[in-house]
Amino acid sequence: MTDREFTQWLDDEVAGNRITRLQQQDLLQQKRTFENQRTLIEQDYRNQIVGFVADQLRVSRDIHELISMCKEQYPKRMIYFEPIGFYLL
Amino acid sequence: MAANLGCPSFNSSDHRPHQVGKATGYKGGAAITAGKEWMIDTGAQISCITKGNGDQFDLTLTGGSASATTGGGGILLKSGLTMSFEIFDKAGRRKSVSCSLDVGVKPNDSGSEILGMDQLDHVGAAVDWDPRAQSGRLYQV
């Protein structure tokens, strides 16, 4: 999914009142932070799930562990994540 | 041996394991229950529902990814949904179990409603499936 498609999807979610504009902006900001470090991330975190929350990098081998970690440290902040070198489904 | 998995009701030539269950949550403050046919996907680390299914409920966004699924598809992580399904307990009795882990929501309605390994792990269950017989079971371990 391209950046444009992802942004459009979030626009549709906001328009449908399923997410807030603030959540959209936060998630897109975390995605930008991820993209800025993509090369290093793909070198250093192969076969792990890398997320950004509040501009902080978090890494786990389990998606729910990553979510729990992020929610505990930054409640209500959005997490942008990608599995590196594999897919979640 | 009793089974609680079979081919999907809408396609008897699909050899992947499915089970009829339900999803519960809230919409506009009212409790909502929707019947669902889950596909049990041993390749899924996170359970995932279609957009249309997700839109039936008021779910809370947790995060998302533009590149988490095979083929480069994205998912949004959302909380507030409970998925219910059936397992056999250690005595061989049918037991309904529920799981409220965050789920992935797809950007469209293509594909199945996926019961992933995260939820089976969470309730302490395993899967046994014979694709030729199109029969199998989810059971407590």
- Note whether A16 contacts B: Cβ–Cβ < 8 A: yes
* Residue ranges making up the domain that contains B107: 18-140
State which H helix or E strand residue B61 sits in.
Answer: strand B60-69
Contacts 24+ apart (CB under 8 A), A65-72: A67/B62, A67/B63, A67/B77, A67/B102, A70/B63, A71/B62
Q: How confident is the model at residue B68 (pLDDT cuts 50, 70, 90)?
A: confident
Strand, helix or coil for residue A79? strand
Compare CB distances from A1 to B61, B66, B102 and report the shortest one's residue.
B66
* Optimal mutation site among B62, B102, B115, interface A, most CBs of chain A within 10 A: B62
Contact B18, B39 (CB under 8 A): yes
Length of chain B, please? 141
Among A54, A61, A41, CA closest to A80: A54
Q: Which of residues 33-52 of A touch B (CB under 8 A)?
A: 51
Q: What is the pTM of this model?
A: 0.94
Which ipTM was obtained for this model?
0.95
Number of structural domains chain B divides into: 1
Among B32, B141, B139, CA closest to B88: B139
Q: How confident is the model at residue B72 (pLDDT cuts 50, 70, 90)?
A: confident
Q: Residue B69 pLDDT > 90, yes or no?
A: no
Looking at residue B56, which CATH number applies to its domain?
Answer: 2.40.70.10
- Model confidence over A47-86: pLDDT tens digits? 999 999 999 999 999 999 999 999 999 999 999 999 999 9
- Note whether A61 contacts B: Cβ–Cβ < 8 A: no
Mention every residue, 6+ apart, whose C-beta is less than 8 A from residue A36: none
Contact state of B55 with A16 under an 8 Å Cβ cutoff: yes
8-state DSSP, B141: -
Q: Residue A14 pLDDT > 90, yes or no?
A: yes
B108, burial (CB in 10 Å: exposed 0-12, middle 13-18, buried 19+): exposed
Q: How confident is the model at residue B98 (pLDDT cuts 50, 70, 90)?
A: very high
Task: Please report, in angstroms and rounded to a whole number, the separation of the first and last CA atoms in chain A.
Answer: 15
Sorted by where each begins, the domain ranges of chain A are: 3-83
Q: Residue B109 pLDDT > 90, yes or no?
A: yes
Residue B53 covered by a domain: yes
Contact A74, A66 (CB under 8 A): no
